[in-house]
Structures are given as C-alpha cells and as structure tokens.
Chain A
Amino acid sequence: MELLLQQVMAGLANGAIYACMALAIVMIFQAIDHLNFAQGEMAMFATFIAWQLMQWGLPYWGAFVISVALSFVAGVLIDRVLFRPVQKAPILSQLVAFIALFSILNSSAGQIWDYTIKSFPTPFGHHPLFGGTLIDTHEAGMIGVTALLLALLYVFFRGTRLGLAMRAAAANPESARLVGIRVGWMTALGWGMAAAIGTVAGILVAPVVFLEPNMMLGVLLYGFAGAVLGGLSSPGGAVLGGFAVGVMENLAGTFIPYVGQELKLTLALVMITVVLMFRPSGLFGRSVVSRV
C-alpha cells in the first residue's frame, strides 16, 4: 500500500510536467489546428538558456523568469515569421515546418552546449517532505508550480478581456474578426504562452531527466499521450490527461515487470494508439464533424 501511494504521488509529480506539455500542445492545436512536434525541443532549448544564465551567475528564479520571458517572445516570433506564411500551404508543408524546427533546435543545442548530460539545480532540494517517505520536496515543488500556473491561466482565460478574446479567436476566427479581435495576434499570443508553459515544464523536469538535447523526447511523447487522452480540444481535459498518464506510467513501471521500466516510450505509443482508435476525441474533447 505504501509503495502504491508512493508511486501514485511520484506519478502525479511527473504528471504535472506532462500536464504542462499537454496544455502547451493543446493551446497551439486550438490556435492553428496543428500538433506542435517541436514543443519539446523549444522547451529543451529554453531550459539550456536558463542553465547558461545560471552558469553566468544569475540566481535560479532570475534565470527562470528571464528564460520563460525569452521563450514567450520566441514563441510569438516563430508564429509570425515561420508559420504565418505557410498558414494556407498544404498540410504536408506545415508538418515539415514543425519537423524542420524540431531538427534545427535539437541540432543547434547539441552544437552549442554539446551532448554530455548535465545536472540541473532545483530550488526545492531533494529532501523528504514533512519527514514522510511519500514524496520529496522537488516533486512537491513540481506539482505546486504547475498548480499555480494552471490557476493563473484559468483566471486569465475566464477573467480578462484578452483571455476572452483569445478564446473567441480559437473558437470562431471569422466571427471574432468581425467583432474587432485581431485573430492573427491572438494566435501569436497563444504560441508565446504555449512556449512559456513548455519552458516551465522543461525547467521543472530537468533536475529529474537531466539536461541534454534529447531530454524532452520522452516528455513530449507523454505530453501528446496526455493531450490525446484528455482531448485535443479541451485544455482542462489535457491537464487531467497529463496527470493520468503520469500516474499510469509510474504504476506500470512498478508493477509490470520488465515492460514498464524499459519500454516507457512504447507504453506511451500504445496509449496514444489505443485512445486514437477507440475515442479519437479524447475523454473531454468535442468530436469533429465536417461537412461534405
């Protein structure tokens, strides 16, 4: 029982990261109807920037804020420079643009900071929380920061005019344009926010998976699994899905011999395929109906 609880808590901590990635994926999906295959690499690159800033002597939270802000700007720029011009291009071209971004970021990070594995600091430390063995402080910190982020986003989307405008632009671009919302900029803003959320996830997970150019591949895959499970059209669902796949991953790793530990990515593949087969709209998403 102790082991089960422990694994569930650890799963929730990982799930917090997957939830952030899933949320970032869903935000971009809502804005432009595309899966951002480069989401993980964007987060990885920003995490390297945070690491570099800390190497230059900045305190943890200073580096955190600067790299999140930088990735927000970068996200907006990526949308305006890279994806706006191909907005009307065939779907293959757009997919290729994401893959190109993935390749560029991965390879440049390897070139700038090389492929050796680096440790990444955590401000929370790795002590048992409240003296118990259930969860350590870094895991609690991951869950805490994610919860705070989600609360802020909720307030932003429900309580501010800008949040309302972004929701309108995603739900019905044409009508939104008619009431004077600048849909293009709302999309860019969505990109910026998704990049920033991804960066938070990257910085939080770096102490666990260690810093290296391929660190986000597994996280991204679980982020996708979470987003698909919760439903690509539902931000709240994606967050729940992220937590759910985190718990599933840890339980499978503990209780299924061999498979769970060595085949974590395969587990994500199976989850994605099964959900897409039986419930392509996810648990909370709307199913897409298209007119013929």
Chain B
Amino acid sequence: MTTTIPKDDIAVGAATPARRASMRLGNRNLIVAGLVVVAFIVPLFVTSFVTFQLTEVLIYGLAILGLNLLTGFNGQFSLGHSAFYGIGAYTAAILIHNYEVSYLWTLPAAGVVCFVIGFLFGLPALRLQNLYLALATFALATAMPQILKFHALEGWTGGVQGLVVDQPEAPSFLPISDDQWLYYFTLIVVLVMFLCAESLIHSRTGRAIMAIRDNPIAAAAMGINNSLYKTLTFGMSALYTGIAGALGALAIAYVAPDSFTIFLSISLLVGLIIGGNGSIPGCLFGGLFVLYVPNIANALSTGLAGAIYGVILLLVIFVMPAGAAGFVRLATARLSRRQA
C-alpha cells in the first residue's frame, strides 16, 4: 500500500515550518480556487462537444473518487465498480423513464441504492482479504451485464435494448444551452462531492479509515470497529460511483447493459492508478486520462485502446508507482529544494 507522505516532511528551507505550511496551504487554496473559476468559464469559450467531453471528465473523476475512497484510503481492492456505476445509471434511468421522476431526484436515489447494495455486498465480501475481495468483485463486474439483461427484470431495465433517458433541459431563465447546463449541474454536484470527500478524509472517521489501511490490527487495538468502518467505506465508495453513474446516464441520455462491463472497471482502475492512489485532486486527472487517452489511442489505431491502456498501466507501475499525484509531489519537492 502506498502511504502518502505528509507534505511537511518534504519542506526544507529557511522559513519556519509553520509559516511555510500556512503559505503552502494558502497557495493550494488559491490554486484550487483558480481551477474552479477556470472550470466555470471554460464552457463559454469551447464548442458544445468539448463541453460534453468535459462533463464526462467530471463524471469519471467522481467515479474514480469513489474507487479511491475504498482503495486509496481504506486499502481494499475492487474490480467491481463498473457494477455500482451501472446500478447508479440504471437507477436514474428507471426513475426517469418509468416513473417520470425529475432528474434532480435521481442522484440522491442512485446514491442511496448504491450505498445499500454496496453495504450489503460489503458485509460478506469484507471478511475477505485483499485478493479474495478482488476476486469476488471481479465476479460481480463480470456478472453485472447479464443481470441487467435478465428477462424477468426486462419490464424495468428494458433488457438488451436498454433505456432512453430524457436529457435535462436548461432552466428557461438561464441564457445557456442544454449541454452547458448539464456541465454546470455536473460541476456543482462534483464540487460538493469532492468537498465532502475531503472533509470526510480529514475527520475522525477518515483517520479511522486510513488507520485500517495502514495497520488493521493496531487500528482494532485503538478501538476502531474494523468491519463496520470497512463496510461503511465500501458503501460510501459505491455511493460516490453510483452518483457518477446516474450523472453518466443523464449525460449520455441512454443506458445499455453492455456499457457496464469489466472493462469499465479497468478504466476506473486505470484512472485511479494514473491519478494517484490516495490523492483526491488526482481523481480528476484520472478522469481526464480515462476520457482522452482512448480517443488518442483510437486515433492511432481503432480498437487498440485496451492494449494501450494496458501498456500505460505497466509503464506507470514500473516508472511512476505513485501516479501523477506522486509525480507532482516529487517534482515540487525537487523544485523547492533547488530554490532553497
């Protein structure tokens, strides 16, 4: 398990540690605020297709954040997050298509459904050690498309055909297109979810979650209820990925069983590893990667996206084991050392 190095360990310089830390914190907030402002004005300058792609980046980033809560902070593996993404997407689609619920309500519904399913699947699965959990979730991801096609559920899920979802329309008082509205809606949801994740990780609960990752026995000795926290983290992780799935269904306006195969899980895992295991901002970088790299790969040669993913994965674990976030951390450490 990669443990994140506290930033203060890297600081070497003339300023007092406290001052440097506050400066760095200030810098960081400034950068984040700047990025958020950029994120808000970008759609005004790009085509609606790029806006749509950026929406997808945000959605993948959110799904990867869900996986990261589980893998990066709690140290458990899942190859089954495509299933939770799919369940979230289908929850939204079924609510809109069959029950004509407003799209705003589909997100909390998808979150709750995925939390419950994740929690229930977590109950037996979390008694399993690393590899066995990977195996059980691998089986879940492989079985999911078949469950969605199952003909007894066809009345709900639309079977092999899938479901068409009405795309949300921009409120009439705002002078923006539907694509832009979808982007802003997604952006706000994602920002709120990222803030929640950030504060969760820095809370007492977050420390318990990380303690279990670093040393389960010591954590138990400190009075942490390991299995409860692990199951809750699994549910929470499923909730994040499920909400991402619901947003995905709204954005693409269509769900079909074969969109949620094991290869989606592999994409999310790629995003996690590339963005940096255990880094919250890294998730968005992972989202960028997951969306754009297959496009580039397709430009090189159609159909080889999977192979290029694989090669990149191997390169990353051989060359850049801590992902992009680790790489940035290392680079800033080098740079600040040079300045000092």
Q: Apart from A92-B1, A92-B277, what 20 extra A-B contacts exist at CB < 8 Å?
A: A37-B138, A92-B2, A92-B71, A100-B313, A103-B309, A106-B306, A221-B143, A224-B138, A258-B150, A258-B151, A262-B151, A263-B143, A264-B146, A265-B142, A268-B143, A269-B143, A276-B125, A276-B132, A280-B128, A280-B132
A-B contact pairs, 13 of them (CB 8 A): A90-B321, A91-B77, A91-B130, A92-B77, A96-B269, A107-B304, A108-B307, A111-B304, A218-B142, A221-B142, A224-B135, A262-B149, A266-B147
A97 to B2 CA separation, bound complex (whole angstroms): 16
**B307 and A35 contacting across the interface, CB-CB below 8 Å:** no
Given the complex, which residues of A lie within 8 Å of B212, measured CB to CB? none
Given the complex, which residues of B lie within 8 Å of A92, measured CB to CB? 1-2, 71, 77, 273, 277
Q: Contact mask B307-326 → A, CB, 8 Å, 1/0?
A: 11111011011100100000
Number of interface residues of B (CB under 8 A): 49
| Interface positions of B (Cβ within 8 A of A) | 1-2, 71, 77, 79, 124-125, 127-128, 130-132, 134-136, 138-140, 142-143, 146-147, 149-152, 217, 262-263, 266, 269, 273, 277, 301, 303-311, 313-314, 316-318, 321
A85 CB within 8 Å of chain B: yes
Which A residues, 93 to 108, have Cβ-Cβ distances below 8 Å to chain B? 93, 95-97, 99-104, 106-108
Chain B nearest CB: distance from A53 CB in Å?
A: 22
Given the complex, which residues of B lie within 8 Å of A107, measured CB to CB? 303-310
A263 to B308 CA separation, bound complex (whole angstroms): 32
Given the complex, which residues of B lie within 8 Å of A253, measured CB to CB? none
A225 to B310 CA separation, bound complex (whole angstroms): 26
Chain A nearest CB: distance from B149 CB in Å?
A: 7
**A269 and B131 contacting across the interface, CB-CB below 8 Å:** no
A68 to B132 CA separation, bound complex (whole angstroms): 29
**B304 and A108 contacting across the interface, CB-CB below 8 Å:** yes
**B132 and A99 contacting across the interface, CB-CB below 8 Å:** no
A89 CB within 8 Å of chain B: yes
- Known contacts A107-B307, A224-B139, A269-B140; A96 and B146 CB within 8 A of each other: no
Chain B nearest CB: distance from A156 CB in Å?
A: 27
4 tightest Cβ-Cβ pairs between the two chains A and B: A107-B306, A104-B310, A100-B313, A103-B310
**B1 and A265 contacting across the interface, CB-CB below 8 Å:** no
Chain A nearest CB: distance from B153 CB in Å?
A: 10
A129 to B176 CA separation, bound complex (whole angstroms): 71
- Known contacts A35-B134, A92-B71, A280-B132; A265 and B306 CB within 8 A of each other: no
Which A residues, 13 to 51, have Cβ-Cβ distances below 8 Å to chain B? 33-35, 37
**A103 and B306 contacting across the interface, CB-CB below 8 Å:** yes
- Of chain B, the residue at the smallest CB distance from A288 is B129
**A34 and B131 contacting across the interface, CB-CB below 8 Å:** yes
A276 to B125 CA separation, bound complex (whole angstroms): 8
**A35 and B151 contacting across the interface, CB-CB below 8 Å:** no
- Of chain B, the residue at the smallest CB distance from A262 is B150
